[in-house]
Amino acid sequence: MKTPDDLLLPMLPADFGSKGVSVSIDCVDEILTVPLQADQWALIRGGGWFERNGPRWHCDEASFRTTWVFSSGSLTVSYGNDGGIAFEGDLGSTTIVEKGKRRLSN
């Protein structure tokens, strides 16, 4: 079984995200971003499970609430009440920006 350390996370400096990060995904014609506090990022980086509400996604003249679920180095962003998936993939498919300094983009 792959762990987060097998994927993106070993490429990051040990102190990356010590002040928090923002994680962004590309959804059709819109970039969605959620900020994460340092303790939340530490949990995610360690392979833990973390869920939070994200920004609204505007698609096809509708607006949907998003839910971001981080687990074992992957991210699933769902929207609406019907279980639609806006994004599903590993963290290496996202853009991660460290608060105040570095950016990691794949």
Q: What is the CA radius of gyration of the chain?
A: 13
Tens of pLDDT, residue by residue over 55-79, are 888 777 888 899 999 999 899 999 9
> What is the Cα 10 distance to its own chain's centre?
17
Which has the higher per-residue pLDDT, 54 or 106? 54
Beta sheet of 21-27, edge-to-edge order? 30-36, 21-27, 95-98, 103-105
pLDDT in tens, 19-43: 999 999 998 778 999 999 999 999 9
pTM for the whole structure: 0.82
pLDDT at residue 5, rounded to an integer: 44
User: What are the extents of the domains in the chain?
Assistant: 4-105
Banded model confidence at residue 2, pLDDT cuts 50, 70, 90: very low
